[in-house]
Amino acid sequence: MSVSVHIERVIVHGASIADAQRGEFVRTLTDELARLIGDRRLADARGSASLARLAAPAIRIEGGTARLARAVAGSVAASLGREIRR
């Protein structure tokens, strides 16, 4: 079984990402989310899920762009896991 995730928009309140850093943010977010989804075996969750919107828990915004992207990915993966298993 496989997991397919399409993210249209990520909104991070309280943080600003410079245009020059957006590429790094997207690459790091994508890589980390793929790693976390694989680690948590969301592909083994029963049935299929389609979510129009997912609100992830708050994170601490500290450090650079890559650290922010990894924190966002962790929050999204945790929320996704909870929603799929409902």
Averaged pLDDT of the chain? 80
Residue 16 CB neighbour total at 10 angstroms: 7
Q: Is 1 exposed, middle or buried (0-12, 13-18, 19+ CB in 10 A)?
A: exposed
Looking at residue 46, its pLDDT comes to: 46
Q: How far apart (Å, rounded) are the C-alpha atoms in residues 10 and 43?
A: 22
More confident residue, 37 or 1: 37
pLDDT tens digits for range 47-82: 566 677 788 888 887 788 999 999 999 888 888 877
CB 50 within 8 A of CB 7: no
Percent of the chain with pLDDT over 90: 26
> What pLDDT score does 48 carry?
60
Reported pTM: 0.77
